[in-house]
A and B are shown apart, each in its own frame.
Chain A
Amino acid sequence: MSMQTFKEWFFTTDHKRIGIMYLIGSMTAFVVAGMMALLIRLEQSQLGPTITDNPNEYNQWLYFHGAAMVLAFLIPGLTGFFANYFLPLMIGAQDVAFPRINAFSIWLFYGAIILALLSFVIPDPPDIMWTGYPPYSITTMGNTAYYVFTLHLLGFSSVLGAVNFLVTVIYMRAPGIGWNQLNIFTWTTVAAFVLQLVFIPVLASAVTMLLFDKYLGTNFFNPEAGGDVLLYQNLFWFYSHPAVYVIFLPAVGILFEIFTTMCKNRVFNYKACVYGGIWGIVGISGFVWVHHLYVSGMPDWLRIGQMVTTLLISVPVGLMVMSMWGTLYKAAITFNTGMLYAISCLFLVLSGGLTGIPLALTAITVHLSETSFVHAHFHFIMAMFSAFAMFGGIYYWFPKMFGRYADGKWATTGFILNIVGVHVTFVPLFIIGAQGMPRRYWDYQMFPQFEPYHQVATLGAFMVAAGMSVTILNWIICAFKGKVAPENPWKSCSLEWTHAPNCPQAGNFPNPPTVTADWSPYGYADREANLKATTDPGFPGAAKPAE
């Protein structure tokens, strides 16, 4: 690699290269955090000390696993990698509005990853879970400062990303693209960034108060001097519940792109999905955080009120899910690996969503809260639904990024191991959770009857580990050696396929597109007319989808 090529990669401000850097960073976080999950599962596979007799060590694994999976894998994967690489292409833009700020965001993200990884080598690493609740986080010997600064770096990165992408979508859409002609993925990304913009500062403030309390002796969370411990939990979940949608929404957006293309169909109920579903979620998301504090204590009016709003969330979610099924209805479906992941998500969202309802009900949740039922619930939504949507998206856009397919028997093998493995892992956790298995415990001496379930779960975790190893290796190999894909191999109508060549170069489009009011990214009903509603793509093989 010449010096020039090196600089053009390392210091790049191009959205596609930054996207790839996000992909590498977030997959690294996923792999390391996944190893932590294996350690956690090994420790739980037998009663008593199994691979460590030091509960603190177990805490550090849990800390790293949770924090890295949510904050360094899912959020940067979705709003960093997918948004960066594909959103500008979908709206026909040459880059984002502020390319340097985009590079700034990626470096902040890497700074956070390095800081998080440092916790493996420093003395007294953070041991406060990804939630960082005081008073423990203030009284521990562990390095709470690194936790706080990791969140600061990631938060700043995301807020700047939000500014960047909101301005990009508002001002840099190709001439002619109206609001109702945006891809669902674009909408979900915009919504996710609106959430980041408004809610991250609250998290950043909460952890800053933590920092001040621990190191400067302030009294934010110190009841003896007039502070309030619950304030932290309130501020934390005021961000972290919406953060679930920062993950959920773009994942749904990816699914829509896969479904429409593979079904050659329009989005069923586009407007209900966008304005009712996506923006409905954004609207309610700030009024449900209390469901994470049910057992912490609060006045009944707040508890009941937020139970109602929490249940109301199922309305917008339902609208989006209905649009997905409606898009599949009576369509001629093409099956490939991307589609397999996408279809599995339809079921994962059901199991994950329905198990959220008992957790939302104030009476039942007193029993389920802080048990492994909660773990199983959010893993179905986050670790499985959202992560699988990402994996599906990677298969779907693989030809766009690398000009090659990643489908094939290894891809399918990986998928089967993954989907079976996650169920073998988490279904047992549902069962013993409902029977009272506490979450986050290093050991469960008082519940010897749960041991077999833990063993099954551990087995499942290793299946996933095998599945992900196959999957990731397959990606790496296919990026260089996979079967070469033609332009627009899935015959999509969306601009990133019709107007940008595979492996888009700097500037993205040989001829930056413009569209008329008749064009739609989902114009499958009359593909010819839809293509005529855009300007010449300017590269061979694009206008006519390859056969």
Chain B
Amino acid sequence: MSAESSHAHEHHWEWSQAPFWVVAGVFFLVPLTFAAYFQYQNPLLAAIFAGLGTPMLLAGIAMWVNEGLTVKPLIADVAGIGLPIFIISEIFIFLSFFVAYWMMRLGADVWPPEGTPEFPVTLPLIMTVVLLSSSVTIHIAEEKYAHNDHGGFVKWLIFTMLLGLMFISMTFYEYNHLFHEEFYPDTNAFGTIFFSLTGFHASHVIGGLGIFVCVLIPALRGLTNKTFITCASIYWHFVDVVWFFVVSQIYFW
């Protein structure tokens, strides 16, 4: 896709279409679709925007992953530093939601507020174990990769993804269960914070799974890149660590 510079002293104007299409996709898929549906209550328009945005987004991501794996970067391996810096930012997002939670909870007369059903204890424990194991499996995958065992890497990556999927299914199972008990995001302050914190975390799990898909598909064709794998794995560990805070604050406090 993009012009690649081969010699240190001979430069071309570099370009890439990937970022444009990703943003175009996001632009249709998120602000336009959301506002069409919720603000203007026009599901048809929302569907059209989503239909336009999705292919753009997917095409953009595909181009980007492809370039990331084939074009030599200007300076090697710094993505492994960039990602942790980005994670600092993510931490502050979660922190803001926790602050909202603490303010509500510490300011409340009774907690949990009226309308909150009994919460399960075993399910979150199982979810914790599942997510924790997935951190172990992705680590094994990385080890396999480091020892040039490509087949082993793919295998353990798939294990990780299956564990992630299991985690997400359990989240949906639990949401479903709570909806049956008439507990919704708008039920009370706890509903608000419960669904936004766990939902926000779950969206990160889904994001992590998306990254794994981007690693896996080229890997099946034999295309991999160490930094890419390291980043995916750092991100996954981060999502795992956040879960400890979520689970301890929400279920076991």
Decide: A104 and B23 in contact? CB cutoff 8 A: yes
Decide: A225 and B189 in contact? CB cutoff 8 A: yes
A145-B39, A171-B81, A212-B185 given as contacts; is B15 within 8 A of A13 (CB)? yes
**Binary flags per residue of A92-121, CB closer than 8 Å to B gives 1, else 0:** 001101111101100110110011000000
B121 beta carbon closer than 8 Å to chain A: no
Decide: B19 and A100 in contact? CB cutoff 8 A: yes
A507 beta carbon closer than 8 Å to chain B: yes
- Chain B residue nearest to A141 in the complex (CB): B39
Distance of A170 Cα from B84 Cα, bound (Å): 14
A103-B19, A111-B23 given as contacts; is B185 within 8 A of A14 (CB)? no
A531 beta carbon closer than 8 Å to chain B: no
A90 beta carbon closer than 8 Å to chain B: no
Distance of A541 Cα from B2 Cα, bound (Å): 33
A99-B74, A218-B192, A219-B188 given as contacts; is B23 within 8 A of A108 (CB)? yes
Distance of A432 Cα from B210 Cα, bound (Å): 57
Minimum CB–CB distance for A119 against chain B, Å: 11
Distance of A166 Cα from B82 Cα, bound (Å): 8
- Chain A residue nearest to B112 in the complex (CB): A226
Decide: A219 and B20 in contact? CB cutoff 8 A: no
Decide: A166 and B85 in contact? CB cutoff 8 A: yes
Total A-B pairs, Cβ < 8 A: 195
Which A positions have Cβ atoms within 8 angstroms of B? 7-8, 10-14, 17, 94-95, 97-101, 103-104, 107-108, 110-111, 114-115, 123-124, 143-146, 149-150, 152-153, 159-160, 162-164, 166-167, 170-172, 197-202, 204-206, 209, 212, 215-220, 225-228, 231, 235, 505-507, 510
The 19 listed contacts between A and B (C-beta, < 8 Å) are A8-B13, A97-B75, A100-B19, A100-B68, A107-B24, A111-B24, A111-B31, A124-B39, A146-B31, A171-B75, A198-B88, A201-B89, A202-B93, A202-B95, A202-B96, A212-B185, A219-B189, A227-B189, A506-B12
- Chain A residue nearest to B93 in the complex (CB): A201
**Binary flags per residue of B11-31, CB closer than 8 Å to A gives 1, else 0:** 111111111101110110011
* A149 neighbours in B (Cβ, 8 Å): 30-31, 34-35
Decide: A145 and B34 in contact? CB cutoff 8 A: yes
Minimum CB–CB distance for B223 against chain A, Å: 17
Decide: B196 and A97 in contact? CB cutoff 8 A: no
- Chain A residue nearest to B110 in the complex (CB): A226
Decide: A205 and B78 in contact? CB cutoff 8 A: no
Minimum CB–CB distance for A293 against chain B, Å: 14
Distance of A159 Cα from B196 Cα, bound (Å): 22
Decide: B107 and A228 in contact? CB cutoff 8 A: yes
> 5 closest A-B pairs (Cβ-Cβ)?
A226-B189, A507-B11, A205-B96, A149-B31, A217-B186
Distance of A218 Cα from B3 Cα, bound (Å): 48
Q: Which of A10, A171, A235 contacts B78 (CB 8 A)?
A: A171
* B191 neighbours in A (Cβ, 8 Å): 218-219
Decide: B16 and A103 in contact? CB cutoff 8 A: yes
Decide: A215 and B189 in contact? CB cutoff 8 A: no
* A171 neighbours in B (Cβ, 8 Å): 75, 78, 81
- Chain A residue nearest to B107 in the complex (CB): A228
Chain B positions 149-196 with a Cβ under 8 Å from a chain A Cβ: 184-186, 188-192, 195-196
Minimum CB–CB distance for B36 against chain A, Å: 9
Decide: A201 and B96 in contact? CB cutoff 8 A: yes
A98-B79, A143-B35, A226-B113 given as contacts; is B86 within 8 A of A159 (CB)? yes
A171-B81, A206-B96, A226-B189 given as contacts; is B15 within 8 A of A12 (CB)? yes
Distance of A115 Cα from B30 Cα, bound (Å): 12
B220 beta carbon closer than 8 Å to chain A: no
Decide: A104 and B192 in contact? CB cutoff 8 A: no
Distance of A111 Cα from B24 Cα, bound (Å): 8
A98-B82, A145-B31, A219-B192 given as contacts; is B104 within 8 A of A227 (CB)? yes
* A13 neighbours in B (Cβ, 8 Å): 2, 14-16, 19
Decide: A104 and B75 in contact? CB cutoff 8 A: no
* A507 neighbours in B (Cβ, 8 Å): 5, 9, 11
Chain B positions 82-108 with a Cβ under 8 Å from a chain A Cβ: 82, 85-86, 88-93, 95-97, 99-100, 103-104, 107-108
Other than A166-B85, A171-B81, A219-B192, give 11 A-B pairs with Cβ distance below 8 A.
A100-B16, A123-B40, A145-B31, A149-B35, A163-B82, A217-B184, A218-B185, A220-B100, A226-B104, A506-B13, A507-B9
Decide: A12 and B13 in contact? CB cutoff 8 A: yes
* B74 neighbours in A (Cβ, 8 Å): 94-95, 97, 99
Decide: B85 and A115 in contact? CB cutoff 8 A: no
* B3 neighbours in A (Cβ, 8 Å): 8
* A124 neighbours in B (Cβ, 8 Å): 39
- Chain A residue nearest to B101 in the complex (CB): A220
A201-B90, A217-B185 given as contacts; is B18 within 8 A of A209 (CB)? no
Decide: A505 and B11 in contact? CB cutoff 8 A: yes
Decide: A8 and B15 in contact? CB cutoff 8 A: yes
Decide: A198 and B89 in contact? CB cutoff 8 A: yes
* A202 neighbours in B (Cβ, 8 Å): 92-93, 95-96
* B12 neighbours in A (Cβ, 8 Å): 506
Distance of A219 Cα from B30 Cα, bound (Å): 22
- Chain B residue nearest to A159 in the complex (CB): B89
